[in-house]
């Protein structure tokens, strides 16, 4: 077997398939050297460039040679041959490395292709992605084939593997088996384990999670925690067990505590936690003036949050707060590459790195006017460059939902003594139900609504009440949720059924109904979770839905995250899960699901 090749065995077909393990073949590496020796022309020359050198932490001047997707030289020399070369004079620009988003949930209505394509237009060209939806919906074989397809895009995608489902699943031990998790850990595109939402299980003695963390360490891969509100002692324990970083700081003191224990700290600014201004001010209050262990993330925000870009906005906020511009750019590129062990490929403009380069008009404005990703233009002089790669979603496990069962009045028996009250967008607590839930239509004078969760396969249901969602939402159905099961909310049982039926007709989606008519909808034809539309159109759909919900009494910031986290047991205090209504703090199923 050649040194640069790796064979994967597909047991269902009984054949070996060939896949490249290393980024460049030996032949390509030799050709890169030939460019330096003057035997071959580079494919692109960036002349007279003022560019950020990430390790020197200063702006330098020189010429950058690119051979296909790689920087083969950056310095004072010019190439001997430029016969097959695109030459760009960079005198009027400042060049910085392509930005890295180190904590991406690429399944927040958008899909990995549409999100990364959109993000690249504002300079974010490398992504470290969550694999949770692939774990739950597509299976390992199709997921790995999809990862191979996504490598064809101009952007660069890496992945992390989950160690837990973030909810209470039936047969979680089968889905997250040792064999499945280790298969993901061993994949070359996976560079991290986590985020570890099940850290309480780890501290209570779950040695399987600890084994996976040890395996990640053995392979040289990072492990990320999920530690909102954690004490010094808890952070220290988890650092001893193998956690390398965390993105859950909410104050400057939180940042300081994590840095003190040797963690890399990712500063978050997201649709559900827009914390960066507070964190940046907190750095000053804590006297933190070194930034090498700090990164940025938008933490899987919902579509409309990204109207002005991705990492570029966070860099600008940091510069405006007084962080030196070089440090701000490093926090969005070099620091992340170094933390994840990919600094030999990403995070700086230097020999040997992937040619991900942003062209800026001003040093203190991180929004680029042109962007190179893998040596190809994705944005040139302010205009997006057409990109036609087709990802075969259907053949890789992301098909329209085909629900071969009905939802009806038999499912709407709401007789529990207590329901779920929303404290904010994502935190929920129990409350005693005081109204009569047997009527078909509830009053709009209060904010209690029916809540129904249905198994995607039609096998079970949970029927309870939810307080605080809205006072006038009549029917609302969503196939978008943490586990892919169906959530139905509303004041009117007929409208709830109408919303479910329309969602089913769409092959998955989010539907708001009133008086039997559809008010707003977001089709999600990829497994009922993802849209196949480009980001600008999806942003418009999400904004229209949110506005319609606010008009009907939704008082919080992010209804999409409300849907996602109703089942998420890493947050307090009570959740609806595939096992039933679950008390997070006491780790107890209060009311089990009902078989249909």
| DSSP-derived pairing of the beta strands 376-380 and 70-75 | unpaired
Give the whole-angstrom CA distance, residue 121 versus residue 278.
Answer: 27
Compute CA 584 distance to the chain's CA centroid, rounded to the nearest angstrom: 24
Do residue 455 and residue 586 come from a single domain? yes
The closest alpha carbon to 347, from 30, 102, 160, belongs to 102
Tally of CB atoms within 10 A around 415:
9
Whether 389 is in a domain gets the answer no
What is the predicted pLDDT for the residue at 17?
41
Query: What gap in Å lies between CA 167 and CA 145, rounded to an integer?
Result: 26
Neighbours of 186 (CB within 10 A): 12
pLDDT of residue 267: 98
Same domain, 59 and 116: no
pLDDT tens digit string along 97-145? 999 999 999 999 999 999 999 999 999 999 999 999 988 887 889 999 9
Among the candidates 307, 330, 346, a domain finishes at: 346
Check pLDDT > 70 for residue 1.
Answer: no
Distance of CA 401 to the CA centre of its chain: 22
Q: Point out the domain boundary residue: 295, 319, 346.
A: 346
Distance, CA of 371 to CA of 381 (rounded, Å): 9
482 phi and psi angles, rounded to 5 deg:
-60, -35
- Residue 338 belongs to what domain range? 98-346
Are residues 53 and 107 both part of a single domain? Answer: no
Q: Is the pLDDT of residue 22 over 90?
A: no
Residues 439 and 453 in one domain: yes
Residue 386 lies in a domain: no
Are 45 and 178 members of one domain?
A: no
Q: Is residue 352 part of a domain?
A: no
Position 294 scores a pLDDT of 98
Q: What is the torsional sign of CA 445, 447, 448, 453?
A: positive
Give residue-wise pLDDT tens across range 428-456: 999 999 899 999 999 999 999 999 999 99
- Output the CA–CA distances (angstroms, integers) from residue 289 to 318, 328, 335, in the order listed: 13, 12, 15
Helix (H, G, I), strand (E, B) or coil at 283: helix
Examine residue 400 and state whether it is found in any structural domain, yes or no: no
Cα separation of 51 and 242, whole Å? 36
Bridge partners (DSSP) of residue 488 are 452, 477
pLDDT of residue 19: 53
The whole-number pLDDT of residue 558 equals 94
Taking each helix axis as running N to C, give the angle between helix 276-285 and helix 252-260, from 0 to 180 degrees, rounded to the nearest 10.
60
Both tokens of residue 493? 């049982």
Strands 156-161 and 124-130: parallel
Residue 370: CB atoms within 10 Å: 22
Tokens of 392: 């075969």
Q: Are residues 156 and 218 in the same domain?
A: yes
Q: What CATH number is associated with residue 268?
A: 3.20.20.140
Task: Please tell me whether residues 79 and 146 are part of one structural domain.
Answer: no
Apex CA 416: angle with CA 415 and CA 417, to 5°? 120
The reported pLDDT for the residue numbered 167 is: 80
Of 19-23, 283-287, 409-413, 583-587, give the range with the top mean pLDDT.
283-287
Give the pLDDT score at 570: 82
- Within 8 A by CB and 6+ apart from 153, the residues are 113, 116, 117, 387, 389
Q: What pLDDT does 590 receive? A: 92
3-state class (DSSP) for residue 398: coil
Please, which pLDDT band fits residue 12 given cuts at 50, 70 and 90?
very low
Q: Identify the H or E element spanning 10.
A: strand 5-10
Instruction: Report how many domains make up the chain.
Output: 3
Taking alpha carbons only, the member of 115, 541, 529 closest to residue 301 is: 115
**Separation CA 305–CA 543 (nearest Å):** 10
Rounded to whole angstroms, the Cα distance separating 122 from 369 reads 8
The pLDDT value given to residue 15: 36
- The dihedrals phi and psi of 291, each to the nearest 5 degrees, come to -125, 10
- The reply to whether 316 falls in a domain is yes
The reply to whether omega before 59 is within 30° of 0 (cis) is no
| 54 and 154 housed in the same domain | no
For 126-136, give one letter per residue: b (16+ CB within 10 A) or e.
Answer: bbbbbbbbbbb
Last residue of a domain, one of 329, 346, 363: 346
Report, as an integer, the average pLDDT of 571-580: 90
Rg from Cα positions in the chain: 25
Please check whether residue 441 lies inside any domain of the structure.
yes
**Relative orientation angle of helices 232-241 and 252-260, to the nearest 10 degrees:** 40
Q: What end-to-end distance do the CA atoms of the chain give, in Å? A: 54
Residues 439 and 585 in one domain: yes
What pLDDT does 171 receive? 75
Residue 385 belongs to some domain of the structure: no
Same domain, 66 and 162: no
Per-residue pLDDT reduced to its tens digit, 238-265? 999 999 999 999 999 999 999 999 999 9
103 and 145 co-located in one domain: yes
Ramachandran angles phi, psi of 189, nearest 5°? -80, -10
Q: What share of the chain is helix, strand, coil (3-state, %, to 5)?
A: 30, 30, 45
pLDDT at 20: 64
Q: What are phi and psi of 116, to 5 degrees?
A: -70, -35
Tokens of 263: 């963690």
Stretch 181-208: mean pLDDT, rounded?
A: 96
**Integer Cα distance of 188 and 148 in angstroms:** 11
Q: What is the mean pLDDT of residues 213-225?
A: 98
pLDDT digits (tens, 9 = 90+) for 491-500: 999 999 999 9
Whether residue 168 is found in the same domain as residue 260: yes
Whole-number pLDDT of residue 11: 37
CA distances from 248 to 115, 257, 429 (A): 23, 12, 21
Residue 377 has pLDDT above 90, yes or no: yes
3-state SS, one letter per residue, for 56-95: CCEEEEEEEEEECCEEEEEECCCCCCCCCCEEEECCCCEE
User: How would residue 174 be classed by pLDDT, with cut points 50, 70 and 90?
Assistant: confident
Residue 7 has pLDDT above 70, yes or no: no
Helices (H), 121-197: 132-137, 140-150, 172-175, 178-185
Average pLDDT, the chain: 94
Alpha carbon of 574 to those of 273, 413, 455: distances in Å? 20, 20, 19
Q: How many CA atoms lie within 13 A of 200 on its CB side?
A: 10
Q: Is the pLDDT of residue 381 over 90?
A: yes
Identify which has the larger pLDDT, 21 or 285.
285
User: Is residue 12 situated within a structural domain?
Assistant: no
Out of 131-140, 335-344, 374-383, least confident range: 131-140
Question: Is the confidence at residue 39, as pLDDT, over 80?
Answer: yes
Contact call for residues 537 and 522 (beta carbons, < 8 A)? no
């Amino acid at each position: 077997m050649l040194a640069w090749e790796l064979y994967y065995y597909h047991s269902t077909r009984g054949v070996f398939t060939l896949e490249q393990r290393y980024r460049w073949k030996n032949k390509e590496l030799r050709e890169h050297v030939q460019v330096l020796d003057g035997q071959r022309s580079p494919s692109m020359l960036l002349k007279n460039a003022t560019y950020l050198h990430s390790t020197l932490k200063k702006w330098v001047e020189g010429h950058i040679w690119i051979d296909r997707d790689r920087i083969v030289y950056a310095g004072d020399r010019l190439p001997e041959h430029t016969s097959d070369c695109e030459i760009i004079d960079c005198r009027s620009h400042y060049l910085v490395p392509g930005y890295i988003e180190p904590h991406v949930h690429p399944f927040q209505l958008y899909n990995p292709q549409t999100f990364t394509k959109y993000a690249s237009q504002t300079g974010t060209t490398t992504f470290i992605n969550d694999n949770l939806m692939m774990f739950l919906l597509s299976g390992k074989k199709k997921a790995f084939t999809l990862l191979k397809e996504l490598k064809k895009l101009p952007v660069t995608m890496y992945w992390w593997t989950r160690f837990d489902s973030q909810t209470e699943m039936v047969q979680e031990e089968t889905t997250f088996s040792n064999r499945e998790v280790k298969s993901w850990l061993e994949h070359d595109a996976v560079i991290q384990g986590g985020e570890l939402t099940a850290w309480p299980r780890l501290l209570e003695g779950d040695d399987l999670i600890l084994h996976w963390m040890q395996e990640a360490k053995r392979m040289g891969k990072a492990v990320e925690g999920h530690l909102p509100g954690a004490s010094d002692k808890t952070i220290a324990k988890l650092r001893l067990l193998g956690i390398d970083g965390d993105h859950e700081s909410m104050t400057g003191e939180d940042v300081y505590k994590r840095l003190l224990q040797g963690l890399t700290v990712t500063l978050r600014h997201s649709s559900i936690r827009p914390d960066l201004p507070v964190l940046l001010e907190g750095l000053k209050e804590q006297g933190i003036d070194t930034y090498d262990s700090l990164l940025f993330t938008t933490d899987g925000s919902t579509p409309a949050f990204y109207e002005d870009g991705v990492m570029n906005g966070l860099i600008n906020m940091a510069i405006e707060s007084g962080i030196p511009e070089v440090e701000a750019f490093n926090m969005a590129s070099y620091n992340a590459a170094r933390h994840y062990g990919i600094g030999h490929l990403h995070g700086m403009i230097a020999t040997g790195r992937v040619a991900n380069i942003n062209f800026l008009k001003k040093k203190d404005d991180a929004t680029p006017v042109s962007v190179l990703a893998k040596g190809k233009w994705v944005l040139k002089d302010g205009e997006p460059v057409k990109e036609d790669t087709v990802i075969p979603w259907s053949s890789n496990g992301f098909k329209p939902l085909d629900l071969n069962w009905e939802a009806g009045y038999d499912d709407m028996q709401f007789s529990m003594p207590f329901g779920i009250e929303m404290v904010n967008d994502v935190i929920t607590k129990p409350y005693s139900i005081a109204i009569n839930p047997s009527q078909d239509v509830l009053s709009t004078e209060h904010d209690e609504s029916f809540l129904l969760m249905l198994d995607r396969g039609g096998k079970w249901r949970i029927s309870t009440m939810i307080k605080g969602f809205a006072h006038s939402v009549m029917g609302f159905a969503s196939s978008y949720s943490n586990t892919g099961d169906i959530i139905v909310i509303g004041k009117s049982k007929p409208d709830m059924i109408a919303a479910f039926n329309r969602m089913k007709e769409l092959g998955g989606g989010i539907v708001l109904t009133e008086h039997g008519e559809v008010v707003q909808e977001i089709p999600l034809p990829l497994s009922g979770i993802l849209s196949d539309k480009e980001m600008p159109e999806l942003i418009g759909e999400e904004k229209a839905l949110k506005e319609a919900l606010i008009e009907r009494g939704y008082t919080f910031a992010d209804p999409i995250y409300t849907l996602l986290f109703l089942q998420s047991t890493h947050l307090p205090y009570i959740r609806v899960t595939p096992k039933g209504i679950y008390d997070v703090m006491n780790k107890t199923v209060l009311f089990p699901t009902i078989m249909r």
